Amino acid sequence: MSRDPEITSSTDMIRALGLIAAICGIIIVGVYEFTLDAVNANKKIALERQVFKVFPHAKTVDAFDALPGGISPAGDHDALAGAVRFYAAYDATGKLAGIAAEGSSAGYADQVRVLYAWDPEKQLIIGLGVISMRETPGIGDKILVDRDFLHNFVALDVSLAADLNSLAHMVKTVKHGTKSHDWEIDAISGATVTSKAVGRGINQSAQALLPRLMPHLAQLRNKS
């Protein structure tokens, strides 16, 4: 530095930072307000698309939160701590077609998030969709297309134990070709890690959700 640097006073610095913060704050709040509706609409569409995939006959979807004491319709916000978010799908006449909920667990690369379809009459999982994953193409992502694997979720036993506090049998992923019970998931050979992540995610979610949901199922029978 050849010239003597000018000393900036603290008030100048604070004023400059305050000015920038004010400008930036206005921009962010403005954009948030402006895009809020579109973002929420997008989220709703994305959710409905997922749920309709596992309940092809459904026409409308409502989101609920299952809390220890009961169930309540979900607001715009994310699920509260301790609550389990689930989705009730209704057919054209407003009758309950089934319940969908998310299970997620760590896979090979990242969280594997799946949406499972639960039939309250039969107490079975009757369908599976994948919300998001980053598994290895050609190996882990077979959970989307492998017929044998998807066949596990046509009738997966998740009935409750006698005390209604947990599942009668833990949902478990077993080695390829060794499935012997209705609550077991036959893994894809070569993609065991991803298969196990699916099983673990479903088990965790179902263990938490179904005992809370069962006593209040009557509330959901017909669309409110």
Partner 1 sequence: MTSLVSNFDEFMDGLWKQNPIFVMVLGMCPTLAVTVSAINSISMGLATTFVLVASCLLVSLLRHAIPKEVRIASYIVIIATFVTVVDYAIQAISLELYEALGAYIKLIVANCILLGRAEAHAAKTPPVAASLNACGMGLGFTLGLLAIGAVREIFGSGMLFGVSLFGPHFQPWVIMVLPPGGFFVLAGWLILFAAIKARNSSQLSSGERALEGGKS
Partner 2 sequence: MKPTIELRAAPHVHSGISVPVIMRNVVGALLPICAFSVWQYGISAAALILTVTASCLLTERFFSSRTGLGNTLADWSAAITGILLALTLPPNFPLWMGVVAGFIAIALGKSLFGGMGFNPFNPALVGRAFVQGAFPSTIASFVPSYAPQRFTEFVPSTLTAPLMQAADNSAWIGHAAIDAFTGATPLARWKFENFTYSAGDFMTGVVTASAGETSAILILACGVYLAMRRYLDWRIPVAVLGSALILAWAFHLAVPARYPEPVFVLLSGGLMLGAIFMATDMATSPVTPVGVWIYGALIGIVSVVIRYFGGLTEGVMYAILIANAASPLIDQMTQPKVFGARSR
Q: Which stretch binds partner 1 (CB under 8 A): 39-47, 81-89, 146-154, 204-212?
A: 39-47
Reference 126, options 134, 113, 135, 117; nearest CA is 117
Q: Which does 75 bind (CB under 5 to 8 A by kind): partner 2, partner 1, none?
A: none
Q: Which residues pair with 106 in a beta bridge?
A: 111
Residues that bind partner 2 (CB under 8 A): 136, 138-139, 175-176, 189-190, 192-193
Q: Is 1 in the site for partner 1 (CB under 8 A)?
A: no
Q: Which does 16 bind (CB under 5 to 8 A by kind): partner 2, partner 1, none?
A: partner 1
Selected from 23, 92, 144, 168, the binder of partner 1 by CB under 8 A is 23
Q: Which does 175 bind (CB under 5 to 8 A by kind): partner 2, partner 1, none?
A: partner 2
Who's near 69: CB < 8 A, 6+ residues apart?
none
Q: Which residues pair with 64 in a beta bridge?
A: 73, 86
Question: 3-state secondary structure string, 133-147?
Answer: CCCCCCCHHHHHCCH
Find the binding residues for partner 1 in span 136-155 (CB under 8 A): 136-139
Q: Residue count at the site for partner 1 (CB under 8 A)?
A: 25
Q: Is 24 in the site for partner 1 (CB under 8 A)?
A: yes
User: Which residues of the chain form contacts with partner 1 (CB under 8 A)?
Assistant: 8, 12-13, 16-17, 19-21, 23-24, 27-28, 31-32, 35, 38-39, 42-43, 46, 132, 136-139
